[in-house]
Structure formats: C-alpha cells, structure tokens
Homo-oligomer: A and B are copies of this chain.
Amino acid sequence: MTQPLRDPNHVTAGGLHGIFPLPAGRTLDICLKLHTAILEHRLAPGVKLSEDEVGEIYGASRTVVRAALQALAHSGMVTIEKNRGAFVARPSIREAHEVFEARALIEPRIARMAATTASEADLRGLQAHIDAEHEAIAAGDMGKALSLSGLFHTAIADISDHQVLANMVRSLISRSSLIIALYWKRPDTACESHSHHALMKAFAERDATAAEEIQKSHIIDLHSGLNLTERPHHDGSLKDILADT
C-alpha cells in the first residue's frame, strides 16, 4: 500500500496543486488565485504585487499574503526583491531557453509513462480538456485558452503518476506561461492544438514511444515559436503599458 507523498491536508483541489506544499487555508487560496491570474495572463510579467494591496483585495492580513508571495517565489512565478517588494516574474531570455530545454527533457518521459498508465477516464478527461480549449478559442478568450493549453500538459503529468517529475513539470509550465506572455511571436495563432490531438491518439493506442516523440517535437515547436532574440517589448511598468496610446 502506497502512502501519499505529502500530507493529505495539502490541498488536492483545482488540479494545480502540488507546487505549493502548504496546508489548506487562506494562504493557499491566495496562492491559487494569483497563480491562475498569472496563467490566464491577467497579471502581466513585471506587475508589482504590493502586500497591502493584495491583502486588501482578498481580505487577508499581510502575514498571510507574505507567505503566499514567498510560496509563489519558490515556484518561480514571482520575484521578491529586498525592501522593494514582490513582482510577477519576468523570465530572462536565458531562462526561457532553459525552461523549454528542461521541458524537452522531462515531458517526453512523462508522456511515455502516461501512455501506459492512462485509464479510459483519463482519456475522456484529456479530451474534455481539448474541447474546453477549443471553446475558449472560439469565445475569443485567449488568456483562458492559453491557460488550458498549459493545463493539458499538467494533466498528462498527473496521469503519469510520477509525482516528483509531475511537480517539476507543473513548475516549468507555470513559468512557460510567463515566457509566452513576454516572447510569443504570433499573438493569435491557434496554439498548436493539433499536437495535442496527436498525443491523444497515441495515448488511446497505448503507443508509449509515439507519445514520447510527439511530446518532444511538440515542445521543440513551442520553443521555436518564441522570439528570443530581443528584449521583451513592454516590461510591465506603467510607462510601457501606456506607451501605445
């Protein structure tokens, strides 16, 4: 009988658990809310997250907000600067390369494992994920579509049943969301969802080798879809946000 990797009262809700080893509570709530806001590109890289401000929004004291921000810093989504505060992270070009190199190493292995462990219910869940993604694209909600695209990868990680690697993947995907916000070439391209379909097919056929290779080339595609030759256009400061008007 296998025992859980961490304590059971470490939340398992929402599907994006695991990166935050926090007991359930308001701290975890704030983590999750900020996390999804970043994943949906409603919080741009570089935006300042003042403790007082966040605390007022969510009705919590600075103590709990601080803990949440530090947790987010550990997962790489937030940068904390001494005596200056917390900001939504702004991954460098170098970090962008490294994150996608790491994904290209880990995720194909994850896909291989998931291909053998996926249940029928898992496959239906993945398909529902793809459908929701299409729906969001049709509705023009690009933030949500991108978020779901990432969540598809984390769902595979969950299916693989390798919690250590799955947590790494989750962290990498969260950072990828920031990287895409900063460096994505074609803002309105339908996000490679045909790769996701191909993966689904490999899973359905229990073809582990195919799943591994599809995932690898998919991530290399994503990597090459980035413009990593120049500094990002806007850096999150108010000046740059309003520069277009």
Contacts and interface: CB of A to CB of B under 8 A. Distances in A.
Contacts of A162: 98, 101-102
Contacts of A3: 92, 94
A203 to B, nearest CB: 21
A165 interface: yes
Given A9-B82, A23-B82, A82-B9, A163 B95 contact: yes
Interface string A1-13: 0111111010000
B92 A5 contact: yes
B106 A164 contact: no
A105 B95 CA distance: 20
Contact of A164 (B93, B99, B164): B99
A22 interface: yes
A197 interface: no
Give the oligomeric copy count.
2
Nearest to A175: B164
A168 B2 contact: no
A79 interface: yes
A94 B168 contact: no
Contacts of A2: 92-94
Contact of A23 (B24, B74, B81, B106): B81
Given A98-B164, A102-B165, 17 more contacts: A2-B93, A3-B94, A5-B94, A5-B95, A6-B79, A23-B82, A67-B67, A70-B71, A71-B74, A74-B74, A94-B163, A95-B163, A98-B163, A101-B165, A102-B162, A105-B106, A106-B106
Interface of A: 2-7, 9, 21-25, 66-67, 70-71, 73-76, 79-83, 92-95, 98-99, 101-102, 105-106, 109, 162-165, 168, 172
20 contacts: A2-B92, A3-B92, A3-B94, A6-B79, A21-B73, A21-B74, A22-B70, A22-B73, A23-B81, A23-B83, A67-B67, A67-B70, A74-B74, A74-B75, A94-B163, A95-B164, A98-B165, A105-B165, A106-B106, A168-B168
